[in-house]
Amino acid sequence: MTNDTINIRNTEIITGIFSILAGLALILTIITRFEFISFFSSLNEDLDYLLDNMQLLKLNSIIWLITGLIITVSASTFIVLLNPWHKLFSWLTGFFMILAAAMISVSGIKGLSVIEILLHFQDLELTNHEILKLSIFTLAREKELYIIMAYSLLGFGFLSLGLFALRTRSMTIATGVVSIITGILLPVFTSLIPESILADIGLVAGSITFMVIGVRILFNGLSLKKQPEKKNKKT
């Protein structure tokens, strides 16, 4: 094997591993996700609920931060791996994934901010406890907004990756079709009906798609069709 071939294969392995890790991390964010504030409960009930589940909230926030880091690395490896095949789709895929990673990281920070308020809410000496509830509710809604934006951007990344697969035929047609379908449904479900079970199904489907693509690249690489650029060099 030549040095170029070895380098390409190493990039495929790294890309596959981080894609699988990203899919697993996304599933963990779904499992540990919960609502902060409810309009149908009192302030004391909401605070008691949050205080009782503070460790879960902390775990969820840390998982979001780690997930953002993993997706950032995954996006970088996708850019390096796909760029020789198709520059536009490689940069679009990486661009949307990096933006999604940023939104995921911000949502994790928002969760940690809620914890910070909860730990010191007794020292705030607020005369109106509704202000405290409003502060936590505002952070919770901001976190949810960043989550919706993150999953929508991931959907656009999947869409770009699916178009790349169909355009270059470097992956199976099935992989391209599944990526495109996921890329369309994920933003629709999470943006229009975020509280629906269809949104959760879309999130799980996106996570599984991430892992399937990772497994495909890890074990098979982009080898269904030789690169046109390499063909030209041989001729």
The tens digit of pLDDT for each residue in 116-154 reads 877 776 555 555 566 767 777 788 788 888 888 888 898
Question: Cβ distance 220 to 189 under 8 Å?
Answer: no
Higher per-residue pLDDT: 28 or 2:
28
pLDDT of residue 99: 94
What is the per-residue pLDDT for 232?
44
Residues spanned by the domain of 158? 3-234
- CB of 175 closer than 8 Å to CB of 165: yes
Q: Is the pTM of this model over 0.75?
A: yes
Number of domains in the chain: 1
Task: Give the integer Cα–Cα distance in Å for 135 and 113.
Answer: 10
- 101 within 8 A of 69, measured Cβ to Cβ: yes
Query: How far apart are the C-alpha atoms of 185 and 200, rounded to whole Å?
Result: 11
- 202-228 residue pLDDT tens: 778 878 888 888 888 888 777 654 444
Question: What is the gyration radius of the CA atoms in the chain, in angstroms?
Answer: 21
> What integer pLDDT is reported at residue 102 of this predicted model?
93
Residues 6+ apart with CB under 8 A from 188: 202
pLDDT tens, position by position, 26-39: 888 888 776 655 55
Inform me whether the pLDDT recorded for 69 exceeds 90: yes
Report the pLDDT averaged over residues 179-191: 83
In this structure, what token pair is assigned to residue 86? 């198709």
Q: Which range is least confidently modeled, 3-17, 66-80, 81-95?
A: 3-17
